[in-house]
Amino acid sequence: MTGAPGRVVIVGASAAGLTAAETLRREGHAGTITLVGDEAAAPYDRPPLSKEILSGAWTPDRLPLRTPADLDALGLDSRYGRRAVRLNTAQRTVVLSDGTEVPYDGLIVATGVRPRKLPGAPTHVLRTLDDALALKDRLGPGRSLAVVGAGFLGAEAAAVAAGLGTRVILLEPAPVPLAHAVGEEVGRMLAQVHLDHGVDLRTGIGVAEVVPEGVRLDDGSVVEADTVLVAIGSRPNTEWLAGSGLRLADGLVCDQFSAAAPGVYGAGDVARWHNPLFGMPMRIEHRTNAAEQGMAAARNLLGTQRPFAPVPYFWSDQYDMKIRAYGCLRGHHEVRITEGSLAERKFTAVYRTDDRLTGVLSIGMPPRSIRPWQQAIAARAPWRQAVALPEGTAA
């Protein structure tokens, strides 16, 4: 393309960064692509860490996102095992942890997030392969695990641990787990599933710190456990961007094109961009969004300039349940079950925000059952029109 950047630096070697590099090559970019990653390993998939890797169903050799031959074919200047520590937008250079400076004409920031932690004794988190393998070694019969945080990550880890015979205590500060996202009725149903599988779920519980014997609660009491997993959310990795002139606010702030500044784009978990489909800023920590935004950022860097307006998608596996969701569920005003039932734990729920259909979630239903709802969300369907849809049709 005319005016396309000669040297592109991608900081972040996970799903978003790799997809961006592949898209650049696919779109004809022949210049240098430097891919910087703080882990020594080549790009690998993260969702299986809390499921297949933790349970032992997969070995780590199944995680790489591409084969060595596929990566070689991209002709990348790969800088694995090095962190970006500073960005100089005036000189257009990225400074790495080994002291080297990498010049760029175009930059894609895909540095992801890191787990939030609690004060006190060392504990487990779940973000990298090493994290998952270290936690896996602590699970099994005769072991106990306290999981702080009953969001999707904590719930998945609790489900796997319980399935391995571990005694699990799941601690959640909210009265109903995930109610802010999925609604109270669905949240209560998910909570009951954990109870039915023998998990000691305790809600409305604040954790003050991690102690050698477990965790200390806000009331001073101690919940004893051999191992503690902290799953209380993440922080975007933006510290290296301080002083760069880029706007930082719960991530790297980007416009509807995923652009943070001329020649600088964000992608994946670290990017907080304006999604014009919903008319609001979003920062999404899901695998599908990372790949889609990596592609969008690369194309826009090359000059396409097409708004990134996806219907976000995520999934979760807990026990024998497959959970799928499209759209924006948080901040909803109404939830309606359109198919199946909560009692059977097989249903489709749709979500209203103001006067629009904005989300859909299914548990135990075939994927095709929610595709019409995904299409209706993409079409900005009014709520009254959407909920009256005949089965299998879209607005």
| pLDDT tens sequence across 216-242 | 999 999 999 999 999 999 999 999 999
Distance between CA atoms of residues 227 and 166, nearest Å: 10
Q: Is residue 43 within 8 Å of 78, Cβ to Cβ?
A: no
Distance between CA atoms of residues 395 and 388, nearest Å: 9
What CATH fold (topology level) applies to the domain 117-230? Answer: FAD/NAD(P)-binding domain (3.50.50)
DSSP 356-369: EEEEEEEESS-GGG
Distance between CA atoms of residues 9 and 217, nearest Å: 45
Task: For residue 226, give both structure tokens.
Answer: 């051999």
Domains 7-114+234-301 and 117-230 alike in fold: yes
Give the number of other Cβ atoms within 10 Å of residue 3's Cβ: 7
> CB-based burial of residue 103 (10 Å sphere; 0-12 exposed, 13-18 middle, 19+ buried)?
middle
Domain map of the chain by residue range?
A: 7-114+234-301, 117-230, 320-387
Q: Per-residue confidence of the chain (395 residues) as pLDDT tens digits?
A: 335 789 999 999 999 999 999 999 999 999 999 999 999 999 999 999 999 999 999 999 999 999 999 999 999 999 999 999 999 999 999 999 999 999 999 999 999 999 999 999 999 999 999 999 999 999 999 999 999 999 999 999 999 999 999 999 999 999 999 999 999 999 999 999 999 999 999 999 999 999 999 999 999 999 999 999 999 999 999 999 999 999 999 999 999 999 999 999 999 999 999 999 999 999 999 999 999 999 999 999 999 999 999 999 999 999 999 999 999 999 999 999 999 999 999 999 999 999 999 999 999 999 988 999 999 999 999 999 999 854 544 43
Q: In the 3-class helix/strand/coil scheme, how is 83-99 assigned residue by residue?
A: CEEEEECCCCEEEECCC
Per-residue confidence (pLDDT) for residue 3, from 0 to 100: 57
Per-residue confidence (pLDDT) for residue 388, from 0 to 100: 82
Per-residue confidence (pLDDT) for residue 394, from 0 to 100: 43
Q: Is residue 64 within 8 Å of 43, Cβ to Cβ?
A: yes
Query: Helices 152-163 and 184-196 sit at what angle, rounded to 10 degrees?
Result: 20
Task: For residue 355, give both structure tokens.
Answer: 């006067």
Distance between CA atoms of residues 111 and 125, nearest Å: 18
The CATH architecture one would assign to domain 7-114+234-301 is 3-Layer(bba) Sandwich (3.50)
Residues 211-225 as b or e (16 or more Cβ within 10 Å = b): eeebbbbeeeeebeb
Per-residue confidence (pLDDT) for residue 60, from 0 to 100: 97
Nearest to 119, CA basis, from 211, 183, 45: 211
Does the pTM exceed 0.85? yes
> How would you classify residue 233: left for phi > 0, otherwise alpha for psi between -120 and 50, otherwise beta?
left
Class of domain 320-387: alpha beta
Distance between CA atoms of residues 111 and 301, nearest Å: 17
